[in-house]
Amino acid sequence: MILQKKITTNNMARDT
């Protein structure tokens, strides 16, 4: 779960 959350955060930052 933590790993998935980290990936989601990374994806959001990359999309910015």
Structure confidence at residue 9 (pLDDT): 81
Residue type present at position 14: R
CA distances from 1 to 4, 8, 16 (A): 5, 11, 23
- The structure tokens listed for 13 are 């930052």
Residues 1-16: tens digit of each pLDDT: 677 788 888 777 776 6
Q: Which of 13, 12, 16, 9 is nearest to 1 (CA)?
A: 9
* SS3 readout for 1-16: CHHHHHHHHHHHHHHC
Structure confidence at residue 10 (pLDDT): 79
Structure confidence at residue 11 (pLDDT): 78
HSE of 1, CA atoms in CB hemisphere, 13 A: 0
Structure confidence at residue 5 (pLDDT): 83
